[in-house]
A and B are shown apart, each in its own frame.
Chain A
Amino acid sequence: MSRYREIKNLFIDSIDSENYVELDSMVYNYQVLEESLNKPLKMILLFGRPGTGKSMTLTKLYDNLKDIRDIHYFDAPILSEKEFLKSIYEAMSAQTIPQNMRVNFDGLLKYCQKQRGQRDVVFLLDECQLYSEALMEKIRLLSDTRVVKFVITLHKTDNEDIIAKEHFKTRIWEVIELKNATEDDLAVYIQKKLIKKGFVEVSNSIKKKDISFIHFHTKGNFRETNKFLYIVFNIYEFYEQNQPQKIDSGKFSKKILEMAALKLGYLHD
């Protein structure tokens, strides 16, 4: 397999916890989140702009705790209330509900209340901005039983930020905000990713000015950075196979960076 194809695949956007890169800021946020789960909080809000690592953090949390806690992860939003309640019940009772049956919400509440003091179940809900308000209300009522804890993620966009704050401001939650990476964080992120898979030479060839160029265009967004570097190494792969004289393995090509930026629309010809 081509060297650059391997590197390219490193930057495919995935929420595999194996790809989780421990950055200082990420480690801090993760610790806050883990500690919050031990507090008697009903709900924990994890929010930030798309691509700031919310899903990755939830995945990492789930993978780390799934063996030691009663934790369940809903990586895709369940928009149907019926399906949502069914999924909650199935996760808690470890029973499968037949297709033609549904879970009664009052019944679910009573089920939770019965287990009060005996169980501490954690549900990780990703992309919660897609849930209806009615369903969010039910989530809140379920969390009031103190048997179920919810860690929810919300996209922070210019409008949704206000919605999120308005909707949840009356609840006492732990709020963790994830931000885009700084230039230094981004350098660490790229280097760690490459070194982890043994591409030390490539990692060393990426200079500060290259990182600055990448950060300038991606604004430190992990998803954007992954996309950008995927294109970069895709071009490298092409040259490696077709015109190897055009690439210098010791020096990261500015031309290829600019070509990738053109491809993604960061630059215009």
Chain B
Amino acid sequence: MINTVELEKRWLRYKTKIFRSLFFILFFVISIPYLSYYLFQQYTLLIEKDKNISKIEVQNERLTVKDELAPKVEKKIVKEVSVLDVNDVVLAPSIPIIDFNKEKMIDEEIEAKNRKDEQSRAERQRAYHQKVAKRKALAKKRALKKKSKNKRKLVKAKSSSALSSNELKVVNGNDVKHYAKEDIKKINFHSSTNNYMEIMRRKFEQDKNPREAILIAKAYYKAGNYVESEKWALSANELDKDSKESWFLFAKSKAKLGKRREAINILVPYYKKSKLAEAKELINDIKSGSL
């Protein structure tokens, strides 16, 4: 007959094994939703982080150049473009992504520097004025001294001498020429630039000729108004994307405004497309800071 006692023991072992396996399966089945939930949360956090980063990027994009400059490409800029690596910029007439925070910091630094410079300049000017005033005062004092000395040296002639009354006046030192205050002709220094600008602006509004926008931008650039020159260069570029002057002026204005990196990032794709030696030269100038 069969050894049922032994079989029963084996059956108990088998049941324990099955129960253990079931327990583990149950444990996994229960823990999977929790684990999934945890992973989902982690994933959501990561996505949120990414979104924040991309938001900054988008802001930078908007701040760098209007989408008119590269309307189609701007939408495609999704992948991260390293700001530092200029060679990574995509070949397209577009303005790459620029680190807005860095740019802001640079701007602030420049502004602070400018403020400081201005202050020191004002101080120097004040000091200079004071010095000049002192010198003037000193010179006046000396002149008075000299005058009194000369006066003392003069021989007093008698009134009965042959000197005319005028001569006498001279001798007595009373003949101080009185110059009537001449009316100083005020030259109207209305900067001719302003007039020129108005004319050009009006003309531009009528014709919408990119050439005029470039001329205005140039004028502003020469006058040191880089904000306006940037604006007008952009307007010129909107009308004529192939105008190299608009590209150069835009980049130069940016560089002058302290946005050197941005200027380079604008010029590099243009250089890649146009292969103009001037563009390369300008890039080098901006890089070296010799602009």
A residues bordering B, Cβ < 8 Å? 231, 234-235, 237-239, 242, 255, 258-259, 262-263, 267-269
Contact = CB atoms under 8 A, between A and B. Distances in A.
Interface in B46-104: none
Contact of A263 (B1, B2, B13, B17): B2
B34 interface: no
A121 B88 CA distance: 94
B11 A235 contact: no
Contacts of B4: 235, 238-239, 242, 259
B7 A235 contact: yes
B183 interface: no
B225 to A, nearest CB: 90
A269 B14 contact: yes
A258 B11 CA distance: 7
Interface secondary structure of A, over-half rule: helix
B98 to A, nearest CB: 68
B289 to A, nearest CB: 81
Contacts, number: 33
Q: For this complex, into which size category does the number of interface residues on chain B fall? A: 10 to 19
Given A259-B4, A269-B10, 19 more contacts: A231-B2, A234-B2, A235-B2, A235-B4, A235-B7, A237-B1, A238-B2, A239-B4, A258-B11, A259-B8, A259-B10, A262-B10, A262-B11, A263-B2, A268-B14, A269-B11, A269-B13, A269-B14, A269-B17
Contacts of A235: 2, 4, 7
A238 B11 contact: no
Nearest to A230: B2
Nearest to A263: B7
Contacts of B14: 258, 262, 267-269
Contacts of B2: 231, 234-235, 238, 263
A261 to B, nearest CB: 9
Nearest to A231: B2
A235 B2 CA distance: 7
A244 to B, nearest CB: 13
B10 A238 contact: no
A47 B10 CA distance: 38
Nearest to B11: A259
A6 B236 CA distance: 109
Which of A235, A255, A267, A269: most chain B Cβ within 10 A? A269
Interface in B1-26: 1-2, 4, 7-8, 10-11, 13-14, 17
A268 B14 CA distance: 7
A216 B148 CA distance: 139
Instruction: Report, nearest first, the 10 A-B pairs whose CB atoms are least far apart.
Output: A269-B13, A269-B14, A269-B10, A238-B4, A259-B7, A234-B2, A259-B11, A262-B10, A238-B1, A235-B4
